[in-house]
Amino acid sequence: MDPLREVGKVLVVFGVALAALGALLSFGSKLPFRLGRLPGDIVYRGERTTFYFPLVTCVLLSIVLTLIFWVIAQFRR
């Protein structure tokens, strides 16, 4: 295959992903859920410190990214 064609495909995929991320950040406050504040995320508030670990958000993003990369791999075959 032509190397420039492969680079073009990769750039298109990254461009679409970047546009989707931009849209998510722009319209994220209007979603019915807030990433980073899902039930199951760990928040500990002490007197002078706050510890925050978005456990459920990390799992959800991992599943979504796994599905996206799986679909991309299926199209590359």
pLDDT 10s digits, 32-53: 767 677 888 899 999 999 999 9
Torsion of CA 77, 6, 66, 26, to 10 degrees: -140
The whole model's pTM is what? Answer: 0.57
Residue 18 vs residue 37, higher pLDDT: 18
Both 61 and 72 in one domain: the answer is yes
Both 59 and 25 in one domain: the answer is no
Are the C-beta atoms of 60 and 40 separated by less than 8 Å? Answer: no
Both 39 and 67 in one domain: the answer is yes
Residue 2 DSSP label: -
Both 53 and 67 in one domain: the answer is yes
CA 51, CA 57: separation in Å to the nearest integer? 15
Q: Which domain holds residue 65?
A: 33-77
- Strands (E) across the chain are located at 42-45, 50-53
Both 53 and 22 in one domain: the answer is no
Both 58 and 76 in one domain: the answer is yes
- When divided into structural domains, the chain yields a total of 2
CA 38, CA 73: separation in Å to the nearest integer? 30
Both 28 and 64 in one domain: the answer is no
